[in-house]
Structure 1
C-alpha cells in the first residue's frame, strides 16, 4: 500500500502536469485567434489582383508556430530528451553528493 506522502506527491505532480497541459491549450487558442486576425487583416488590405502568398504574411505564423511546437514537445513529450525519471535520479544524486560532502 502506498503511503500518504507518495500519494500526495503523485497528486502534486498530476496538478503540475494538468497546469502544463492547460497552458499549452491556452497558447494554442491564442495562436489560432491572433493568426486568424492577421490573415483577415492582410486579406482586407490586399489590392485588386495582388497575391496573398508573400513571405511577410507568414512570418508571425511560422516563427510563433516553431515556439508552439517546442511548447507542445515540452508538454506532451517531457521525457523525450532526458529520459524517464531523469529529474528524480538527478535529485537523488545531488542529495547523496551533498550528504557525503557534509560528513567528510
Structure 2
C-alpha cells in the first residue's frame, strides 16, 4: 500500500517537473520568436533610438531566472532551501504560539 503511494507521489513530482520544463521551453520559444519582431518594429518606427536592446535584455534576464528555477541551479531555489525555510517559519510560529499561550496563562 505504501509503495503504491510512494510511486504515485514520485509520478506526480515527475509530472510537475516536466510541466515546469515545458513551460520554460515555451517561454524561451516565445522570446526567440517575438524579439525579431520587436527589433524590426524598432527599426521601422524609430531607428535613431534602439529601444529593442532594453526589451531583449529585460526579457532575457527573465528567461535566465526562469531557467535557473526550472533546472534548480541556484541554491536559493532548490527543494532543500524550501524545506529549510518551511521549518524556520513553522518553528517561529510555534515559538510565538507558545509565548502567547504562556502569556495568557499568567494573566
Q: TM-score, normalised by structure 2?
A: 0.65
Which residue is equivalent to 1:41?
A: 41
Alignment RMSD, CA only? 3.0
Q: Give unpaired runs (5+ residues) of structure 2.
A: 98-107
| Aligned length, in residue pairs | 91
Q: CA deviation at 1:69?
A: 0.7
Q: Distance in 2 between matches of 1:13 and 1:6?
A: 11
CA distance in structure 2 between the partners assigned to 1:9 and 1:67 by the alignment: 30
Structure-2 separation of matches of 1:15 and 1:35:
30
Asked whether 1:73 is paired with 2:82, we answer: no
- Quick check: 2:42–2:50 contact (8 Å CA) kept in 1? no
